[in-house]
Structure 1
Amino acid sequence: MVTQNGIDHPQLDALRTEKEHHLHHERGDVGGQYHDQEDIDGIRIGDEHFKAAEKATRRQEAAELSREKDEEKPAEPVLVVVMGVSGCGKSTLGAALAHTFGIPFVDADSLHPKSNVDKMSNGIPLTDEDRQPWLERVRAEALRAVKEQSESHSQESAGRTLKGIVVGCSALKRSYRDVLRGFNQGRSAFHQPNSEISGSSSALPTYFVHIRGSRDALMKRMEIRKGHFMKAGMLESQLQTLEPPEETGEQNVVTVDLEKSMDEQIEQAKEGLRKLGLRV
């Protein structure tokens, strides 16, 4: 039996008055150990437990306060690009995500200059020189749309968890995606030396949702499409051009499965964006 001053612990407890006992509990003494009780080596067990509990409580309170502050911060605008080869369904998924998030959607195909549309309609693949002004125009359109949102300050946008714009764009190569991120890779008629597109992408952080599937599944989807300028025969060229962002070490990339249902694709995209820090 461990003793203190010749009296064992049960006897010490019995000698304490009820008032003193409650006082110790108010001070945080638990489990029969008190702040003024020493163990064999003279270490105050009660003090050590009390300090540890106090530190844990403070850490928890700090974490909760930090989380509350993050939730109170207004959402920063972002550009979400739903990408992939023609026929993968990027326009459909892009529009669905934009509707879910309550932000605008733009199909990048609608921003092609006529010369590009004419080429693709005749089954002629676009060159990098063809794509450069188009990609810069897509980025510029995204910036314009976000600026309009910021200036409107509408009640509708105030309650959104995500602000910005969703764009459906093939974005097959990393260099194309870098233009969409705001890092200009060349000069064109759309290039503006003093614009954000020639510098950092921090003004509009960009995320990519890549719809990925097998060649056979893509070909089946292409063959049933009607009224689109992209022909099924061009799929092979697109697959050869594709540099999957999952394989190039790029950041802010989410992958969804081509053969999943639309609801499943939306959930995959949202889950991936949440892991990247977006509140969706």
Structure 2
Amino acid sequence: MFILPKNVTIIEVGPRDGLQNEKNHVDEKAKLEFIRSLQTAGIKEMELTSFVSPKWVPQMADAKNIVEKAEKIGRQIVLAPNEKGADLAIEAGAESIAVFVGVSNTFNKKNINRSTVESMDALEPVIAKLKNDGIFVRACISTAFYCPYEGKIEKEEVIDLCNRFVSMGVDELSVADTIGMANPVESYELFKLLKERFSEVLLTAHFHDTRKMAIANIFAALQVGIDRFDTSAGGLGGCPFAPGATGNVATEDVVHMLASLGIETGIDVEKICEAVGMIAPHVSHPIETGMYKLYNNRSC
């Protein structure tokens, strides 16, 4: 009989991963209100924004203002793809930095025009500098199960990439089913291996809900002791380099599922739904996650 964790940490990625590819321009005020409402709901760890080129990701052009103006509650993570981005994030006051690499070479080249090995070589001195300065470093690992260009990814490739990140001294590994193709058996098997190999770092599972398997995959990961999950309020998100991939698994649906299992998160589902309602008019598509629809019918 498996034993589920008593407590789970939710890392809210809506303000960054959820909004970065949104077609509609979401203004700074709306983003800050979204962040504040998520904090009010009990979110203690959150990806706020990205320090990336506004030419490629115009939605994140206000990154400096977001970091400077957001209320400092819990761990606030900022994505930085390279040394320049990390420096700008630190100057703005960021204390936790996320870096990212795809296991798939093809995905990585389409995303940042570098192979996986080239990306890791470039990140090594950046991570060393960040750790020397006392910065929390989160490593986001894309295409850990399937790649839209290369197909199925072997578990050994994921282990090797995680191992190199751990040897660099990262604090957290966020391992992603970027295109939402994983099934619960694959989730169980990979996260079981990761849990056995990397007990010294924080392990986080990141599932997209393209095929409506994310909740099942989270339950499978819970069974091997994973107690950290990336989620996005309203199921916001997507990736321009992953054709067909839809948003992240919805925070409100995950928190509801965990509560039904008696697992504590410290997050108020109704207040998450209120946060979703606040950002919903600013995005280009209707939000139709399960708990949010119930909330709109006053049953959340």
TM-score by structure 1 length?
0.28
Structure showing the higher strand proportion among its residues: 2
Larger radius of gyration: 1
Structure showing the higher helix proportion among its residues: 1
